[in-house]
Amino acid sequence: MKWRLFLLALFIVSLALTVGCSNKQEHISIQKREGKIYKFEAYEESIEIEKTIKTKEILKNINWENSKMEKDRPKADYIFYFNDEKNEDKIVVYYVWAISGENILKLTKGKHSKYVQLNKADSEIVLNLIQ
């Protein structure tokens, strides 16, 4: 009787640990420019999964253009990447410039080889995630 109770308790604890560890959490690392330096903010807690999914869809489905960024370009307002992609050896770093007064974002990725200017709706979604 004691063994059955012990095995049942062990099974319940194992099940609880398995369910608790299987929840997908999204983590993002963001650097925000403040003056001449970047302030690093690593989000270790889970962020809203819907914001992340929408942002990832936008970044995946937009038409990136080949870009040759000039060397004297201003520093990006934000730099971010998704930490969950780091484990897959395909991490992509995104650089974001906010165009003041227009609520529009310009982005480059990687080594600034790809460029895009987002529309207002997509800019709002991305900005909502990284701010």
Checking if the pLDDT of 21 tops 70, the result is no
Q: What pLDDT shows up at residue 85?
A: 63
Give the model confidence (pLDDT) of 61-120 as tens digits. 999 998 776 666 788 999 998 877 655 567 889 999 998 788 899 999 888 889 999 999
Smallest CA-to-CA distance from 26 within 44, 46, 2 is with 46
Q: What pLDDT shows up at residue 104?
A: 92
Q: What pLDDT shows up at residue 99?
A: 86
Are 52 and 85 in contact by the 8 Å Cβ rule? The answer is no
Q: Where are the domains of the chain?
A: 26-130
Contacts of residue 50, Cβ cutoff 8 Å, sequence gap at least 6: none
Q: What pLDDT shows up at residue 22?
A: 42
pLDDT band, very low/low/confident/very high, at 30 (cuts 50, 70, 90): confident
pTM to 2 decimal places = 0.72
